[in-house]
Amino acid sequence: MTKNIQDLDTPCLLLDRDRLEANLARMKEVVQLRNTSFRPHLKTAKSLEVAKLAMTFSGGGATVSTLKEAEILGAHGIHDLLYAVAISPQKLKRVSALRAEGIDLKIVVDSVDMARHLSAFYETTGEAIPTLIELDLDGHRSGVRLEDSAQLVAIGWELDRYQQLQGVMAHAGESYGLSNSSDLQKFAHNEAKSACAAAETLRDAGLSCLTVSIGSTPTALAGESYDGVSELRAGVFMFFDLVQSGVGVCTKDDIALSVLTTVISTDMTANRVVVDAGWMALSRDRGTAGQAQDYFYGQVCLQDGAVLTDILVLDAQQEHGIICVRPGSGATMPNLSIGDRLRILPNHACATAAQHGAYHVINSQAEIEAVWPRFSGW
């Protein structure tokens, strides 16, 4: 097996094990301090090995974003799963097949329409699937709006017909747009309060609401009180990325994920270097474009991980990354030659990791400790 990153073919994905473990330890501390339960979201990592590490302080459950993730994780012993994307009728058969194998897969709906499909499915199969009602706290995608309590209760009653109502679920996705701890705390407080209010609305109507599930990396790390909340969910915190650094919940030195790349062309008169990590290796994600500090296609580091301030992947084609000095920064381009190795910190860990088939797990001496395969697809 390859022993040092010097020997790896590029581009490839590196995972710094020390940073991964420190990020996990930090969330573990938050979860213990807040005396709540944790259901890690495994959509960022999509890796059995990372899942095992993250499950050590889970309340037993995990979150997934695809049924494929549920099938793979379920087959490997993680049996308490929440599929946190609104379900469609066509997917119920696969949910049912998983439940028949002993996987306690819970699902999410946001409409009476879909709740009726669930009732019809129960009437055909006799199978009750524990279901959470998705709440829309920030008006950005699916979910029942808080002010629409009639809708919430109507879904609740439809799910209650066959004892399928398990609780409520919210994801404060708009927290990614914040950038200071006081706003994050307020947002986290509001996320918890709103989800609890929705649960109360259901209970006031005479319905049960066992589970109140909330979370996102920024709010899970910022929140101070979780009275009434059953569980927190978060995923990207395991790796962190430039977007989370811009939100203010980590520093660049916490980012566990990077893309190892090789210089393939230099033009020092144009102050430009081309590397073999294009968007195929980095993803097209430009998540920092809307933040105070834009990192274009990624932050450039030396092979040992040292950040080269204001040296960025300014543009990307399929297999070409164009490295330049941040416009206007006055930084100096380091002297690089063809064959030199660099690392790129990603805008968005979920998107960059998804471009790769495996993690090359490295220790602090940049030795390869393991290769952890990733799964993908739906």
34-51 burial, b if ≥16 CB within 10 A, otherwise e?
A: bebbbbbbbbbbbbbbbb
Q: Which residues inside 189-218 make contact with a second copy, applying CB under 8 A?
A: none
Amino acid letter, 108: V
Q: Which residues inside 96-155 make contact with a second copy, applying CB under 8 A?
A: 110-111, 113-114, 117, 139-143
Q: Residue 351, interface with a second copy (CB under 8 A)?
A: yes
State how far the Cα of 244 lies from the Cα of 183, in Å rounded to an integer.
14
Q: Residue 172, interface with a second copy (CB under 8 A)?
A: no
To a second copy, the closest distance from the beta carbon of 155 in angstroms equals: 12
Q: Which residues pair with 135 in a beta bridge?
A: 144, 170
To a second copy, the closest distance from the beta carbon of 310 in angstroms equals: 21
Taking the least distance from each CB to a second copy, the nearer of 34 and 145 is: 145
Q: Single out the residue of 163, 293, 317, 332 in contact with a second copy (rule: CB under 8 A).
A: 317
Taking the least distance from each CB to a second copy, the nearer of 119 and 181 is: 119
Site string for a second copy, 59-98 (x = CB under 8 A): ------xxx-----------------xxxxxxx--x----
3-state secondary structure of 299: strand
Which residue, among 286, 282, 264, has the nearest Cα to 273 in the 3D structure? 264
Tokens of 25: 């330890």
- The count of residues in the chain is 378
**In sequence order, which ranges of the chain are alpha helices (DSSP H)?**
17-33, 48-54, 67-75, 92-100, 112-125, 149-160, 181-204, 217-222, 242-247, 279-282, 349-353
Taking the least distance from each CB to a second copy, the nearer of 30 and 323 is: 323
Tokens of 361: 């797990």
Site string for a second copy, 244-283 (x = CB under 8 A): ------------------xxxxx---x---x-x--xxx-x
Which residue, among 331, 312, 327, 329, has the nearest Cα to 273 in the 3D structure? 312
Q: Which residue has the tokens 């927290």?
A: 175
Q: Single out the residue of 17, 19, 286, 360 in contact with a second copy (rule: CB under 8 A).
A: 286
Q: Which residues inside 4-23 make contact with a second copy, applying CB under 8 A?
A: 9-12
Taking the least distance from each CB to a second copy, the nearer of 16 and 285 is: 285
Please, which residues have CB within 8 angstroms of residue 18's CB and are 6 or more apart in sequence? 363, 364
To a second copy, the closest distance from the beta carbon of 253 in angstroms equals: 25
State how far the Cα of 335 lies from the Cα of 330, in Å rounded to an integer.
15
Q: Residue 173, interface with a second copy (CB under 8 A)?
A: yes
Q: Single out the residue of 355, 359, 360, 374 in contact with a second copy (rule: CB under 8 A).
A: 355
To a second copy, the closest distance from the beta carbon of 35 in angstroms equals: 30
Site string for a second copy, 18-47 (x = CB under 8 A): -------------------------x----
Please, which residues have CB within 8 angstroms of residue 80's CB and are 6 or more apart in sequence? 60, 61, 62, 104
Q: Single out the residue of 180, 357, 367, 373 in contact with a second copy (rule: CB under 8 A).
A: 357
Amino acid letter, 140: H
Peptide bond into 11 cis (omega under 30): yes
Count of residues binding a second copy (CB under 8 A)? Answer: 60
Tokens of 370: 């393991």
Taking the least distance from each CB to a second copy, the nearer of 264 and 307 is: 264
- Assess contact for 59 and 215: CB atoms under 8 A: no
Which residue, among 328, 179, 327, has the nearest Cα to 247 in the 3D structure? 179
Taking the least distance from each CB to a second copy, the nearer of 36 and 46 is: 46
To a second copy, the closest distance from the beta carbon of 25 in angstroms equals: 25
Amino acid letter, 202: L
Q: Single out the residue of 227, 338, 367, 373 in contact with a second copy (rule: CB under 8 A).
A: 338
Residues in contact with a second copy by the rule CB under 8 A: 9-12, 43, 65-67, 85-91, 94, 110-111, 113-114, 117, 139-143, 173, 262-266, 270, 274, 276, 279-281, 283-286, 315, 317-320, 322, 337-339, 350-351, 354-357, 376-378
